[in-house]
Structure 1
């Protein structure tokens, strides 16, 4: 199992956009990941809650991290279906997991909860492994 890592490094690869957003890896292992995002003022929409794009980004990183660790190579998102269920505030915790992995595509699901455990958003995704095995 990979250990929690510095901000922006979520599966052995440094991703500048993840650093920019402030997403932190709490626990990453094959087929499952837990992430954390402490919301900043620039993450807000005009209502003062997490912007939908921030929520989608956190879900996509959770899906991608789980899929990448399962495939042991880079992945790209082919499709993501998102459900927004409650306003995101303060600190958000995301969990992504692989539900089925084939040779050419990986099916995943992810959830975001606030620190009180309320479900903020969920997503299902279809991801495609690309590149060479072991490539970071």
Structure 2
């Protein structure tokens, strides 16, 4: 994909649920792309019943997956389709959400190097008045592992 095709993909998915990503897991999460700029994304998610744990709140593993997937997706805002492997992921769980709730993920790349990228993600309630989780990650450029179509 060229930089123009990537920007077209981002712009054509703005304010819509992403269901046509090359990443099947992102399609399952079905976030709505609210905003993007180079090194940053803002995505909205609706918590579905299958995302809940046995006590009826958003499963910590799903929160981790949202943070990891959102951070990974942020790297496409640089206009290159490259594969980055997560080499660590640190999460603080600060609040809860339940099925039917809308949550917002806001990402920011802190440092992008030639091989290593550091980024953060915050998960908020829909009004952005209560942080539910925050995470940070380092990702390694690993194009040799990308599946070629």
| Separation of aligned partners in 2, 1:74 and 1:29 | 19
Alignment of 1:1-136 (within 5 A): 2-3=10-11, 4=14, 6-9=17-20, 13-70=21-78, 72=80, 73-89=82-98, 90-117=101-128, 118-131=130-143
Contact 1:80/1:124 (<8 A) preserved: yes
Distance 2:117 2:78 in 1: 9
Take 2:50 and 2:40, find their aligned partners in 1: how far apart are those partners?
28
Q: Which stretches in structure 1 are left out of the alignment for 5+ residues?
A: none
Shift in Å at residue 101 of structure 1? Answer: 0.9
Q: How many residues align?
A: 131
CA RMSD of aligned residues (A): 2.2
More helix by share: 2
Question: Do 2:17 and 2:30's aligned partners in 1 also have CA atoms closer than 8 Å?
Answer: no
| Unmatched tracts of structure 2, length 5 or more | 1-6
Q: Distance in 1 between matches of 2:93 and 2:51?
A: 16
User: What TM-score, normalized to structure 1?
Assistant: 0.85
Deviations 1:104-132 (A, max 9, x none): 10000000001132100000100112228
Measured after TM superposition, the shift of residue 79 of structure 1 is: 0.7
Question: Cα offset for 1:76?
Answer: 1.5
1:82-118 Cα deviation digits (max 9, x unpaired)? 0000002311100111001111100000000011321
Is the radius of gyration larger for structure 1 or structure 2? Answer: 2
- How far, CA to CA, are the matches of 1:67 and 1:126 in structure 2? 12
